[in-house]
Amino acid sequence: MKDEGKVSFGKSLRIRTDDGRLLIYAHLNKFHVKVGGKVKFGDKIAESGTSGHSTGPHLHFQVNINGKPVNPEPTIIEAIKRMAGETKEVISQP
């Protein structure tokens, strides 16, 4: 997943966050959003696939800041924390 050009991303989606990060999702199969549309956390935006330079189905997730790839880990951790913070329904009790 190193030094991939735009062409090898296959079907890809780029989403700009309010704080200026560019989130890139590559090797997709199907889109559920359109260019210019607004998305929010938790929306289904696409289906992962194996388009472009890819040897099997997987999600290529990349975060760019000022046009350069950065460590995506803080963005992923932020997403996990937001998911963890959602309220869940109690469905059973011992």
> Residue 48: which of 24, 62, 32, 30 has the closest Cα?
30
Sole window of 15-23, 33-41, 56-64, 72-80 interacting with Zn ion (rule: CB under 5 A): 56-64
- Round to whole Å and give the CA distance between 1 and 62: 9
Stretch that binds Zn ion, among 17-25, 29-37, 52-60, 80-88 (CB under 5 A): 52-60
Two tokens, residue 36 = 């210019």
Shortest distance (Å) from residue 68 CB to Zn ion = 17
| Residue 1 in contact with Zn ion, rule: CB under 5 A | yes
b/e string for 32-59 if b means 16 or more Cβ within 10 A?
eeeeeeeeeeeeeebebbebbebeeeee
- Residue 49 binds Zn ion, judged by CB under 5 A: no
Size of the residue set binding Zn ion (CB under 5 A): 2
DSSP tag of 20? S
User: What track of x and - describes contact with Zn ion for positions 60 through 89 (by CB under 5 A)?
Assistant: x-----------------------------
The residue whose Cβ lies closest to Zn ion is 60
Contact residues for Zn ion, defined by CB under 5 A = 1, 60
